[in-house]
Amino acid sequence: DTGVSQDPRHKITKRGQNVTFRCDPISEHNRLYWYRQTLGQGPEFLTYFQNEAQLEKSRLLSDRFSAERPKGSFSTLEIQRTEQGDSAMYLCASTLGAGQPQHFGDGTRLSIL
């Protein structure tokens, strides 16, 4: 399978814990995006990488959130001191160009107890 892959698929943790998610984009795609989706809503943009450079961050990305894409390949999204409001599906997408469709991974479903 050469699509976007995300790990883990599900994460259940207690409030206050740190969590880290991983995304492996389609290999030739230099653009990588993170989105968050809550029940009944469409995905909302969190952050964008072009190669290894993080070029945009949404206001949704509080200082508890950090994302990296070392070497311009896989990316990680870390949430520190999780809160119940962080419960959501975290989606990663990649694409070749700005106007091109984005291809999504299966997502990581985060539940905060």
Partner 1 sequence: RKEVEQDPGPFNVPEGATVAFNCTYSNSASQSFFWYRQDCRKEPKLLMSVYSSGNEDGRFTAQLNRASQYISLLIRDSKLSDSATYLCVVNSPGSGNTGKLIFGQGTTLQVKP
Cα–Cα distance between 4 and 17 in angstroms, integer?
A: 26
Residues that bind partner 1 (CB under 8 A): 31, 33, 35, 40-45, 48, 50, 55-56, 91, 93, 95, 97-107, 109
29: exposed, middle or buried (C-beta count within 10 Å: 0-12, 13-18, 19+)?
A: middle
Q: Which is nearer to partner 1, 85 or 99 (CB)?
A: 99
Q: Which is nearer to partner 1, 80 or 106 (CB)?
A: 106
Q: Which is nearer to partner 1, 10 or 81 (CB)?
A: 10
Q: How far is the CB of 81 from partner 1 (least distance, A)?
A: 26
